[in-house]
Amino acid sequence: EAQVTQNPRYLITVTGKKLTVTCSQNMNHEYMSWYRQDPGLGLRQIYYSMNVEVTDKGDVPEGYKVSRKEKRNFPLILESPSPNQTSLYFCASRRGGLRLWPQHFGDGTRLSIL
């Protein structure tokens, strides 16, 4: 089954404790991205990757890091989480190129930073 898998689904942690949210897709997609979803703000892109070793900032990259060492994986790293990063996070992937392929989303990771 084609899917985007995020882990963990839920996490409560404390300020300053480094955490990583993993994202893996099994569709051989070139393009992957991370979003955060906050009430009334819709989805805001954090980082995206056009392919292996190619990443770029989205609209709200501050406080986040990403890496794309393999095509299927795109982890999101919060090196020193703060309460304003409490949010619902989504990873997404799609085929690359100029055509506007639909994005496939994971089921989300709800982070609470105390």
| Binding positions for another protein, rule: CB under 8 A | 4, 33, 40-45, 48, 50, 56, 58, 90, 92, 100, 102-108
Q: Which two tokens stand for residue 57?
A: 């900032």
Q: Shortest distance, CB of residue 80 to another protein, whole angstroms? A: 26
Residue 28 or 82 having the CB closest to another protein? 28
Q: Shortest distance, CB of residue 99 to another protein, whole angstroms? A: 9
Residue 86 or 103 having the CB closest to another protein? 103
Tokens 């805001």 appear where? 44
Q: Shortest distance, CB of residue 6 to another protein, whole angstroms? A: 8
CA distance 13 to 23: 19
Ordered strands of the 4-7 beta sheet: 4-7, 19-25, 76-78, 65-66
Nearest residue to 32 via CA among 77, 84, 71, 86: 71
Residue 8 or 16 having the CB closest to another protein? 8
